[in-house]
Structure 1
Amino acid sequence: MNRRKKINQTLKGKAKKANAKKAGSNKPKYIAKADRVVASVASEGIADVAKEESQDVLIGAEPTTEQAV
């Protein structure tokens, strides 16, 4: 390989790496397994609270026909 070809190859490689670094990534950020468990427990807790509140509203509500009588 001659000197000119080797220099061009090196410069093209560096330019390619710089462009790849600048472009960024569409890959989502990694979330550790422990953090995923904590997040799922928290979301289930929120869902359970909302479910309990909706059941309390349904249980506590009286039919409108009996209120009129």
Structure 2
Amino acid sequence: MKPAEIRILSRKEIVAKLADLRQESMNLRFQVVSGQLTDFSRVKEVRRDIARMETILREMELKSQQEGEA
């Protein structure tokens, strides 16, 4: 998912998608350990999507704090 697509979403939607990605990440790790996973690039992609969403959530948090001070 691209950052521009994530920024369009509301905070609740991002948190929900983040939970889904974390669950998928856990499932992918189990598949790697058990030898069932064939597309290892998906692990890297999910990890990066999680990082993107966490970064954008942090940006939203800082922006709301900044607006609160002004």
TM-score (norm 2): 0.44
Larger helix proportion, structure 1 or 2?
2
Say which one has the larger Rg. Answer: 1
Q: Which has the higher contact order (CA 8 A, sep 6+)?
A: 2
TM-score (norm 1): 0.45
